[in-house]
Structure 1
């Protein structure tokens, strides 16, 4: 399987994350990608290439112009304001407040943030752009005839909405790739999100559309980030009614129950008959992940990768979460190897 990767992911090297009331080294760190790359090379998964340049047009089809301007200028504005640490949102336009971006960066960052754990640092914008280009390049290789490809995206993307960042995500890589397929002439795209955390950004972007079927297996939002989206009764709106499917699952969910939901999702995908499938590949469902509560074992990733492969669809895998750093390479590559064995 072809992998698309860029060293520009290292430009996203924040030092702080707000977790449990203290600033800690971020769980989403450059080492995650290095370990996945080492595993790809160890097993001989296939060719590794760098991304092409696509400009901003494919990104503007998903994200609002003012949001992109904010991301591009946040770090310089933060520094110009005299702040010494990394950029972290201190406030939000909460309920019954005016929903309008302030001019000062201290307020503006809160307007565009959906959570406070994700700091913005030097190089974040450049890394996010490169991550989107990794996804777009892998998608194009499939469009040109490859059965599958792995976009080793970092930063991840599935929490980013069309106008908000958070959950370590700035640009929604899978949404950008899906829209590129549709612009190219595809009629239907399915997105399967297997990350532990609900893909709230992807859901939000496509919630009123029927040309993208979105399915997400994740920790129940009562007890897991992003908390305020991902319930089973969220099924789409307007034209999108019935094209959004959530599988919220409780603490200590093991592979037997998880795989039942995957099987249902795969059957729905088959009935939808998409032109292509995009998988938001998060491996934070692993039993030892430090910020999740599912109980999958490493061998389970081989099994479910094979099930996805049996769908027989052109498939783009985009890397999302997974924070048990020493196992993230084995688990991510197991999915890809299982897919190829189907």
Structure 2
């Protein structure tokens, strides 16, 4: 399967994050994609550079003020103190209930809180460069489908499905899957499915399409009562306005087995078939793997072949967009198993 990939993913290289109150090395690391690329190449898959500037699509999905902030955030951080190049900025205040979010503060850390949903999305010198190149790869993948190809993989990093219109979160800055879906619609497709199979609910993607009937969003994920992002992803979230009925969540409990997970996927496939879409965008998270350090499902590497086969049964032009997966050594194998299961089917 052809893969769109920019080497700029290496530019986003924060050294630490805060996880359960502890300062730890970043789970979302350069090595994740290094291993994916190595597995792709070892098994004969071609990687090419993005061919499309995603700026016009980004402007449709994300708020201009938010995009301006993340574009210049690192430079603004350095301007505060010349020693800040050795530090990573984190938000410490968020405009939660009763606080105002309609006035952009002057204070940099306050702005970071305004445009963040958590303190687990560290910025680094090359964050914007990597995020923009990942968006370019996702939109290039969409254009590849529009040219008549049946499948494609966008090795975007950092991931994207937690990013909303005007906020970052969960390691995500630009919502690559939403950008791919929007690009498909912009070029004449009428209906697109975004199926999110990451362990964590795609809250950003849901929020972006929640009131629309041209995108069916389906997410299979850990129950938000116990799993990040906690505040979205429940079964009763079904869309609003024109989007009523076009948002479907399958929250699953800790310890979910592959058989149980596959049952949810089969239900998702039935909904997709009923929707009669023109194309399918997969938010490809592999943190459902049994060895993932921050997730709690029990899917094995060999199971991912069957995941790919099931997705191929839809017989839709399909763009796979890389999301999470933090068992770094196994990640490349797991990704390519999905892609090859799809191709073999």
TM class, shorter-length: over 0.9
Question: Does the alignment pair 1:214 with 2:209?
Answer: no
Cα deviation digits, residues 41-91 of structure 1 (max 9, x gap): 1111x3211112415111101001000011011111112122451111111
Give me the TM-score of the superposition, normalised by structure 1.
0.98
Q: Secondary structure at the match of 2:290?
A: coil
Q: After TM superposition, where is structure 1 displaced by more than 4 Å over at least 4 residues in a row? A: none
Residue pair 2:54, 2:139 contacting (<8 A) in 1 also: no
Match of 1:339 among 329, 332, 342: 342
Provide the C-alpha distance between the structure 2 equivalents of 1:279 and 1:216, rounded to a whole number of angstroms. Answer: 10
The answer for the alignment partner of 2:48 in structure 1 is 49
The answer for the alignment partner of 1:122 in structure 2 is 125
Q: Secondary structure at the match of 2:302?
A: helix
The answer for the alignment partner of 2:40 in structure 1 is 40
Provide the C-alpha distance between the structure 1 equivalents of 2:109 and 2:171, rounded to a whole number of angstroms. Answer: 19
Gaps of 5+ in 2: none
Cα deviation digits, residues 178-230 of structure 1 (max 9, x gap): 11111111100001000000000000000000000000000000111100000
Question: Does the alignment pair 1:161 with 2:164?
Answer: yes
Provide the C-alpha distance between the structure 2 equivalents of 1:126 and 1:52, rounded to a whole number of angstroms. Answer: 16
The CA RMSD measured in Å over matched residues stands at 0.9
Provide the C-alpha distance between the structure 2 equivalents of 1:97 and 1:162, rounded to a whole number of angstroms. Answer: 19
The answer for the alignment partner of 1:59 in structure 2 is 58
What does 1:140-151 correspond to in 2, within 5 Å?
140-151=143-154
Provide the C-alpha distance between the structure 2 equivalents of 1:61 and 1:228, rounded to a whole number of angstroms. Answer: 25
Q: Work out the number of aligned pairs and report it.
A: 341
Provide the C-alpha distance between the structure 1 equivalents of 2:287 and 2:74, rounded to a whole number of angstroms. Answer: 29
Provide the C-alpha distance between the structure 1 equivalents of 2:289 and 2:104, rounded to a whole number of angstroms. Answer: 38
Give me the TM-score of the superposition, normalised by structure 2.
0.97
Provide the C-alpha distance between the structure 2 equivalents of 1:153 and 1:299, rounded to a whole number of angstroms. Answer: 23
The answer for the alignment partner of 1:187 in structure 2 is 190
Q: Secondary structure at the match of 1:106?
A: helix
Match of 2:95 among 85, 90, 93: 93
Match of 1:202 among 205, 212, 215: 205
Displacement of 1:20: 2.2
What does 1:21-32 correspond to in 2, within 5 Å?
21-32=21-32
Displacement of 1:110: 0.2
Provide the C-alpha distance between the structure 1 equivalents of 2:162 and 2:54, rounded to a whole number of angstroms. Answer: 22
Question: Does the alignment pair 1:250 with 2:253?
Answer: yes
Question: Does the alignment pair 1:297 with 2:300?
Answer: yes
Provide the C-alpha distance between the structure 2 equivalents of 1:325 and 1:258, rounded to a whole number of angstroms. Answer: 22
What does 1:318-337 correspond to in 2, within 5 Å?
318-337=321-340
Question: Does the alignment pair 1:313 with 2:316?
Answer: yes
